Amino acid sequence: MHLDDRPFHVLESSQFDRPFLDYICLLTDTIRRFDKSKEGLMYLRGLLAHKRAMLYFTQPSTRTFLSFQSACHILGMPTSEIRDSSTSSERKGESIEDSLQTFSSYVDIIIMRTQVPGLCNQIANHLDNTDRPVPIINAGSGPDEHPTQALLDIYTLNRSFIRRGGIPGKTITLVGDLKRGRTVRSLSLLLANYEDIKIRFVSPKEYRIEDDLRLQLTKKGVQFEETSDFIGALDGTDAVYMTRVQDEYDANNESAAINIDNYSLKYEDLCHLKKEAVIMHPLPRRTELDTRIDKDPRAKYWRQERNGMWTRVALLTMILGVHRNIVLPDL
Ligand code: NCD
């Protein structure tokens, strides 16, 4: 994707290339400086005051919902929301396409999270063939993709490695339910844009990555390994990315039988990590990430969470075409 060719829909992470990633990281850094003064914040608030956004979140969400909502408000964009399809006309038998087409009559962009894989693409296709196509942002679609989380993860990694040559050449260890964890899928595909990256996938055998991801990474020439030796994988790792078991996708409570104790980062394990390593988690966490780690300088997940809001501000300015009003520093 070319920079002048800014995204319309944001559906999957593979639509982003390296120039886009470098640009959005710089744009996010620049936008954050506006947060330092009242004048800066007032300027941002004027940028999209003429637009309206809809948040259609029918799957539970705390961070993604609030960070998108806050991002819209930072840019002056009023928001409306649906958080439960039983309160919309879907309850009266309206098709999902008709419901979303209805929302598109009232707003300029729809940000959606759903339990159903592929639904965001389906709705984007549908709206493209109507009189009023509006951009769709995928804020999490079942177990398949979470492209905006991957953007904020890249931004966090980029900042963390700023004085160490950036993301290229780093070893990133992704741990947990890699089969159904959409953040891991989207992030690994973005990491493929960086030279000489090494990915370690760590999980019990039941939660290994899906074949299609394995195939895509192989095609892109990414060096990766799959292992169940968590402690061994920490050796030489630059960033460890923990994730929780996605048991909401269980058919018959099958997760209960899988022991994940060996895939949890405990305070005592920190000695296996480099001094300058980075610990990340998309949150929410359960037992896989010890709360005693929060105070360790390597823990970046609370910062990662806050970075989400600013990365989403940057993305919204791009999609709605006001990013050029933010002047980037000459490098
Ligand atoms: C993630 C998600 O929803 O996929 N959370 C998030 O968006 N920050 C991770 C998760 O729920 O485990």
Q: Mind giving me the DSSP string for 49-86?
A: TT--EEEEE-S--SHHHHHHHHHHHHTT--EEEE--GG
Kindly report which listed range (85-89, 177-181, 227-231, 311-315) carries the lowest average pLDDT score. Answer: 85-89
Residue nearest to atom 8 of ligand 1 (CA): 282
Buried b (16+ CB within 10 A) or exposed e, 102-138: ebbeebbbbbbbbeeeebbbbbbebbeeeeebbbbbb
Return the higher-pLDDT residue of 38 and 5.
38
Closest CA to 175 of 257, 113, 237, 219: 237
Selected catalytic residue, list 28, 51, 58, 113: 113
| Atom nearest to 59 CA in ligand 1 | 3
- The CATH class that applies to domain 147-246+255-305 reads alpha beta
Give the model's pLDDT for residue 91: 82
Contacts of 37 (CB under 8 A, 6+ apart): none
Cα(129) to centroid of ligand 1, in Å?
A: 31
User: Above 80 in pLDDT, residue 165?
Assistant: yes
In angstroms, the CA 282 to CA 241 distance is: 8
Residue 306 has a pLDDT of 98
User: Of the ranges 90-104, 244-258, 277-291, which one carries the lowest mean pLDDT score?
Assistant: 90-104
Q: What does R_g of the chain's alpha carbons equal in angstroms?
A: 20
Does ligand 1 come within 6 angstroms of the Cβ of 9?
Answer: no
If one compares 258 and 87, the residue with the highest pLDDT of the two is: 258
Q: What pLDDT score does 4 carry?
A: 55
**pLDDT, average across residues 303-327:** 97
Beta carbon of 64 within 6 Å of any ligand 1 atom? yes
Kindly state if the Cβ of 282 falls inside 6 Å of ligand 1: yes
Average pLDDT (249-257) is 95
- Our answer to whether residue 170 is catalytic in this structure is no
Span from the CA of 284 to the centroid of ligand 1 (angstroms): 7
**102, pLDDT greater than 80:** yes
Closest Cα to atom 11 of ligand 1: 284
pLDDT tens-place string over residues 19-55? 999 999 999 999 999 999 999 999 999 999 999 999 9
* Residue 92 banded pLDDT, cuts 50, 70, 90: confident
Ligand 1 centre to CA of 142 (Å) is 10
Q: Does domain 13-145+308-325 have CATH number 3.30.420.480?
A: no
142 lines ligand 1 (CB under 6 A): no
Question: Which residue has a Cα nearest atom 12 of ligand 1?
Answer: 244
Q: What is the pLDDT of residue 85?
A: 83
Which of 63-67, 90-94, 128-132, 142-146 is least confident?
Answer: 90-94
Is beta strand 223-227 parallel, antiparallel or unpaired with respect to 239-242?
unpaired
Task: Give the per-residue pLDDT at 87.
Answer: 80
In angstroms, the CA 119 to CA 74 distance is 28
Reported confidence tier of residue 267, pLDDT bands at 50, 70, 90: very high
Same fold, 13-145+308-325 and 147-246+255-305: yes
Model confidence pLDDT, tens digit, residues 190-234 = 999 999 999 999 999 999 999 999 999 999 999 999 999 999 999
Atom of ligand 1 nearest to the CA of 139: 7
Residue among 62, 64, 307 to mutate when testing ligand 1 (max atoms within 8 A of CB): 64
Q: Provide the token pair at 11.
A: 């559906």
Has residue 331 got a pLDDT over 70? Answer: no
Tell me what pLDDT residue 296 has.
Answer: 98
Tokens of 258: 């899988």
Catalytic residue among 2, 38, 92, 219: 92
Q: Catalytic residue at 185?
A: no
Task: Check pocket membership of 183 for ligand 1, CB cut-off 6 A.
Answer: yes
Active site (annotated) includes residue 92: yes
| E strands present in 164-305 | 171-175, 198-202, 223-227, 239-242, 278-280
> Residue 1: its pLDDT value, please?
43
285 lines ligand 1 (CB under 6 A): no
- d(C-alpha 148, C-alpha 139), whole Å: 6
Is residue 2 predicted with pLDDT exceeding 70?
Answer: no
Instruction: Give domain limits for the chain.
Output: 13-145+308-325, 147-246+255-305
- Which residue has better confidence, 330 or 45? 45
Would you give the distance in Å from CA 47 to the centre of its chain? 24
CA distance 2 to 318: 12
- 83 given a catalytic annotation: no
